Structure 1
Amino acid sequence: MSKLFWDAQVPWLRLNGSGARQFLQGQTSADLNALQSGDLLQTCWLTATGRLRAVLELRFDAEGADVIVLAGEASAVHAGFDQVIFPADRVRLQPLGQLRRLQWLEPMAAAVWCDPDAALPETWASGEAATATALEQWRLQSGFPPGPGELNGKTNPLELGLAAQVSTEKGCYLGQETMAKLIGQAGVKQQLRCWSCPSPLAAAAKLTLDGERAGVITSALERDGTWLGLALVRRQCLASPTLEGPNGEQLQIRQPEAFQDPDA
């Protein structure tokens, strides 16, 4: 059987100018200072209160930076950046475009960016582009990238297992104060978990443990007679391997493959 890969046309923002790195350093959560030209790095765009608005992947070059939107509304990212760019930033934001992004569906696989009209690179010819259903199943098993149910305007990156995309060392950035509090003292109130169940369940279904509120389903998919998906589970219930659905359904619970624990 051929190896599957993720093949997608993704929204692309281009920032031209010598101030691109400094601008993105202040707007996103990862530390970008050590990123070498041509390398890819994922980072988060947050609200001032630390809510996740988008997951970005970016690359610097001698003339500026390319940014693709892996999760979230690209138009909102573009508008948000445009609103806070000033002449002193030495950055010019170009109109939204698209790039082609390829990634093998396996743990820690590196991504490749291509021109949207370019032919499939030769090294990918032995594989097969995943169908939408296969890609969604992989997303639900790995927990990444977050979908609309997880990136809902209320969650923060630590709850969704994106701790590696949040720097604890760099200086001020949008949402930094909240991230520092959560990492340093408060901790998160819920975390993302995978679930599976033989009975059908849908997004927004409430989960319980011993009759008490335990969480909520954020994504669901039927695959080969089994239902699976993602859920946000309350911190005090994370140690339980099973939870109950709204009608007593038994859900098996586990940590997503790509989840980065903020408490580890």
Structure 2
Amino acid sequence: MSKINVKKDQIWLEKFDCFSITGKDSKRFLNGITTGNIVNLNNNVLQTCWLSPNGILKSLLEINCLENKLDVIVFVGNTSEIRKYFNEIIFPSDDVLLSDTFSINRLQHVDDINSWRVTQPIFFHNKDKEYAFYNNNPNLMNTNDLQSWKINQAIPSLDSEINGKNNPLELGLADLVDFNKGCYLGQETMSKIRNVSSLKQEIRVWTAKDRVINIESDSKKIYNNQNKEKTVGYITSIYKSDSLTTKGLALIKRKYLDKENSFFSDKFGQISIDKSVGSTFL
């Protein structure tokens, strides 16, 4: 994904769960669990996925490679579930040790037209002097702006896009999957989807054109028109801003994306479907 000229600089500062992995087998251990190439990672930050054996996205992780340890930042996921699984597959012969969970501040300079994955984040603790400096910066995104920005970036959320059903390729995270490295959890399914082009749906940003919301409807289905002739996808995330604009993320069947459809939702009326800023579907 190539970087475009920055249009509007913003600061994304957020606290995440983190734990460290130490020992001479740390890189090999993590390389066999996640989709990224951890073995060749040197003093850098790598975004990667933790999948189920059948290729379903369970968690989005960032690996911060430091001199004598790997910090695993739980970007999106259930920290307890991740740690439980990691601990269960450490063999007695493995030189691998997991630390206790701690909180880490993650900071990244971002903008409205580039993917969140084109710039490297930095990490620090509350006691570090950088925290006070950046926490009072005028370009720091507030909670509402950050949530809206994440929608435009198609950053998945736990229990929404990461719901035990979707794979990372459907969610526009194909660049976080290394198809050339050795075996890892879920590799067979990822290779099959890629090789036979069997991707059936893609993540998209939707925006409601009507301000009237049908509060009685709980339907998340998206139809190809107001007559609801065909179900073409379903809503995964909803965000309602202070400006009365309602938008979110949805998974849409690929065969309907290139057609001139007037998409419709029972709950939100007519909606528009757009490509996200941050996924590989650009």
Decide: shared fold, TM above 0.5.
Answer: yes
User: In the alignment, what sits opposite 2:192?
Assistant: 181
The 2-side partners of 1:22 and 1:198 are apart by 49
Alignment of 1:1-264 (within 5 A): 3-37=9-43, 39-106=44-111, 107=114, 108-120=118-130, 124=134, 126-199=137-210, 200=213, 205-210=220-225, 211-223=229-241, 224-240=243-259, 242-246=262-266, 249-261=269-281
Q: CA RMSD in A?
A: 2.2
Unaligned runs of at least 5 residues, structure 1: none
Output the amino acid matched with 2:209.
Answer: P
Conserved 8 A contact 2:51-2:59: yes
Amino acid in structure 1 at the alignment position of 2:123:
W
Structure number having the greater strand percentage? 1
State the distance in 1 between where 2:9 and 2:253 align.
36
Which whole-Å CA distance do the structure 1 matches of 2:218 and 2:157 have between them? 14
CA contact (8 A) 1:243 1:253 kept: yes
Secondary structure of the residue aligned to 2:128 is coil
CA deviation after TM superposition for structure 1 residue 235, in Å: 1.6
What is the alpha-carbon distance in structure 1 between the residues aligned to residue 53 and residue 96 of structure 2?
22
d(CA) in 1 for partners of 2:47, 2:155: 12
Name the SS of the counterpart of 1:129 in structure 2. Answer: coil
Question: Structure 1 residues 222-231 or 141-150, which shifts more?
Answer: 141-150
CA shift, 1:122, in A, is 8.6
Give the distance between the partners of 1:63 and 1:247, measured in 2 at CA: 52
Q: Distance in 1 between matches of 2:148 and 2:218?
A: 15
For 2:56 and 2:75, locate their aligned partners in 1 and report how far apart those are by CA, in whole Å. Answer: 16
Secondary structure of the 2:251 match is: strand
* Aligned-pair identity (%): 30
Task: Report the 3-state secondary structure (helix = DSSP H, G, I; strand = E; otherwise coil) of the residue aligned with 2:130.
Answer: coil
Counterpart residue type for residue 256 of structure 1: S
Gap change, CA 1:77 and 1:257, over 3 Å in 2: same
Q: 1:155-192: CA deviations, max 9, x gaps?
A: 11001110011011011100000000011114211110
On the 8 A contact 2:219/2:266 being kept in 1, the answer is no
Aligned residue for 2:60, secondary structure, equals: strand
TM-score, structure 1 length as denominator? 0.91
Which residue type is aligned with residue 161 of structure 1?
G
Which stretch of the first structure deviates more once superposed, 22-31 or 101-110?
101-110
For structure 2, the 5+ residue unaligned runs are 1-7
The CA distance in 2 between the partners of 1:139 and 1:58, in whole Å, is 20
The CA distance in 2 between the partners of 1:44 and 1:128, in whole Å, is: 30
CA distance in 2, matches of 1:80, 1:41: 20
- Cα displacement (A) at 1:197: 1.1
Q: How far apart are the structure 1 equivalents of 2:33 and 2:222? A: 35
TM-score (norm 2): 0.85
Structure 2 Cα separation of the partners of residues 164 and 50 of structure 1: 15
Counterpart CA distance in 2 for 1:163 and 1:123 is 35
Change over 3 Å in CA distance of 1:34–1:127 after alignment to 2 = farther
Q: Separation in 2 of the partners of 1:62 and 1:144?
A: 29
Shift of the 7–145 alpha-carbon distance from structure 1 to 2, 3 Å rule, reads farther
Moved more, 234-243 or 180-189: 234-243
Alpha-carbon spacing, 1:120–1:73, altered in 2? closer, same or farther (3 Å): same
Q: 1:46 corresponds to which letter in structure 2?
A: L
Query: Secondary structure of the equivalent of 2:93?
Result: helix
Whichever residue aligns with residue 96 of structure 1, its letter is T
In structure 1, C-alpha distance between the alignment counterparts of 2:280 and 2:55, rounded to whole Å: 17
